[in-house]
Amino acid sequence: MFIDKVRVDFKAGNGGNGAVTFGRDKKPSGGNGGSGGDVYLLGENQLLDLSKFDKDKLYSAGDGLPGGAERSYGKNGKDLIVKVPLVTEVFDLDGNLLGKVQENGQLLKLCKGGIGGLGNFVFRRGQRKTLRMSTSGKKGEDLKAFLSLQIISDIILIGLPNAGKTSILNILTQSQAKVADYPFTTLQPNFGVVRKLLMLDLPGLIEGSAEGKGLGRKYTKHINNAKVLMHCISLTSEDVLQDYKKISKEVLKINPELNKKTELIVLTKADEVSADDIQRALNSLKSLKKEIVITSIIDDNSIQQLADKLEFLTAKTS
């Protein structure tokens, strides 16, 4: 199951206690404790969602070890580095944004480990009463957080339910996403890669999606980071222009800035209609002045032309 938001608890390591020991000369020789490990998130562009996280697990770094004799320092605790997909945002439980991981290899520190305590060697110059003095290690920071994902994709497929988006995705990328001849077959995003371009098939939008109808805004936030919007419209529709307007209206409600993105209209299911039907559809959409590609999943040439056009448009917007 695709997961794009999770509740996660993180805990940095505690510092080790300082030691109280004496050397052969009877002088204080206790070493300092090691520092606790820090907690980091690491950006990884090969990950696609947050499903690996367990809400019941505490993700914790290692504790520092206590100091030892002869002024030996305790070993520092091991840092915890957790890989996350791009872009992952971190929020506290009050909804405040604490940071985001948006580049491959980026490290984001979430929790700092506790400092190790001081051994009695540090207090050797004090009075007699300080010779057995040491301090405890400090506790590491903890964080109760929400992780929220906004996928960076090259191409996002949008369109009404049953517009043929998932079938096109499967053919282009050799994916095996579920398809069927009824609306809302796609209930969660599907992924695929064509010519090193990441494609994301969102569940079908309907009128009112921006207000919560259908699958509502559950996945629509992922549209924001796409380079190209691939707007699929079935040629079997009675009114392709009205279908286009319905989805465009919802997309602009989600984010008015999306109007500036490169958009490609893909007319699907060309094998199910006549040449006259295709021409009527093209005439109907002519006023939009958008690039249009006609496809059929059983026509290899049309699929090849679509892949070429997507590659060109994505490179153009980079």
pLDDT along the chain (318 residues), means of 10: 91 98 92 98 92 94 97 97 95 97 96 97 84 95 96 88 88 62 52 88 62 54 83 96 91 81 95 96 96 96 96 90
Return the pLDDT at 253. Answer: 81
- What is the CATH superfamily name and number for domain 1-150? GTP1/OBG domain (2.70.210.12)
Helix (H) or strand (E) holding 142: strand 142-149
- Delimit the CATH 2.70.210.12 region(s) of the chain: 1-150
Q: Which residues of 24-37 are buried (b: 16+ CB within 10 A; e: fewer)?
A: eeeebbbbbbbbbb
Return the pLDDT at 64. Answer: 98
Q: Which CATH architecture fits 155-317?
A: 3-Layer(aba) Sandwich (3.40)
Return the pLDDT at 213. Answer: 53
Return the pLDDT at 255. Answer: 78
Specify whether the CB–CB gap between 229 and 158 falls below 8 A.
yes
Specify whether the CB–CB gap between 125 and 134 falls below 8 A.
no
C-alpha dihedral over 180, 185, 191, 196, to 10 degrees?
A: 40
- Delimit the CATH 3.40.50.300 region(s) of the chain: 155-317
**Rounded CA separation 107/123 (Å):** 37
Return the pLDDT at 186. Answer: 44
